[in-house]
Structure formats: C-alpha cells, structure tokens
Amino acid sequence: MDIERALKSTLDRFGRVDVLLNAAGINSGTPFFEIEESEWERILDVNLRSVFLACQIFGKQMVEAKAGSIINISSASSGPPLSKVFTYSVTKGGVNQITQFLAREFAPHNVRVNAILPGFFPAEQNRKLLTEERVAQIMGHTPMRRFGESRELVGAAIFLASENASSFVTGSILRVDGGFMSMTI
C-alpha cells in the first residue's frame, strides 16, 4: 500500500513521524439524483478513506512513539452542508468525526488530532463551481468579503503542528474562513 511505503520512507529518512497532514480532496457539483455510485465511491475514497487509512497507519506509529500531531483538512461544507456538493460535504463531515474520535482515543498517548476548516480558497477542484452567482453568494456570507489565500492556511497548520504552540489542543476544528461559519442571516 502506498501509505505504508510513505511511512517506511519517512521512518528511513527521519527516524520518526512528527506530523501527519491529511489534505487530499476532490469535489463534484453533480446533482444528488444524478450521482453515480462510481463518483460516490471515488470521492469517498479520496476524501475520507485516505484520511482513515493515513490516520490508522501513521497514527499507530505516533501512538507507539507517544508523540505526534495529526492535522486533517475539513471544509466549510462539512456542516451545515453547502448546496451543490453533496458527496464532498458528506466526506468532510466524516473527516470532522474522525478528527474528534481519534483526538479522544490518541490523547492518552500524547498524540494530538485536529482539523483545519477552510472557508473558500479557490483551487483547481472548485473553480468550475464558482459561477458569478455562487461567488456573490459566498461573498455575501463571508464577513471579510474575500477569498482566502493559501498562506493563511499555513499559519494554522504550523500552530497545530507545533508542540510548543498547541500542546493542549486536540479535537479542535480550527476555522480559517473569513467569518463564513459565523454568519446566519
């Protein structure tokens, strides 16, 4: 398995694993009644199964070493879900559940498990969904009235990876969303 080879390569090169960042993600705007089982399985495999397997394989190493930080990338669509991205939303809600479950399970072993919940960061996977109407809806619901920039996720990841900065942080879902999740009406 590729993940097991990645662990072996990491251990061969560095002798230990300090941080696991699960950032894989694919998306689709297929309407619910048109989602084919193959699309459902592909998105679940990339967005959720990969997180499960990486946490299982790398997490075991961290638990045995009694140290480490796992950082999962969630989404503003993880709950409440956004329109037009059903399967994506389901998988990112699952990432939140994995994060919080493993935080509880791994904490006694000094392994922290957290997630970063990005708002809207235009990327290849979601550009085709960003119609003029959709951008207006997003901006109308984002108090900072702009998209995020990738550098803004880096600081959150460094914070969660750092033993010095976040040694008592586990089970958190850190929002980096320009206030998107704080808006209602």
Produce one character per residue of 114-145: b if its CB has 16 or more CB atoms within 10 Å, e if not.
bbbbbbbbeeeebeebeeeebeeebeebbeee
Distances from the Cα of 111 to the Cα of 72, 73, 138, 139, 152, angstroms: 13, 17, 35, 37, 24
Residues designated as active site: 88
- Own/partner pairs, 91-98, CB within 8 angstroms, 24+ separation: 91/43, 91/44, 91/47, 91/48, 92/25, 92/47, 94/47, 94/48, 94/51, 95/22, 95/47, 95/48, 95/51, 96/173, 98/48, 98/51, 98/52, 98/55, 98/72
d(CA 181, CA 148): 14
Residue 22: phi and psi, rounded to 5, are -95, 105
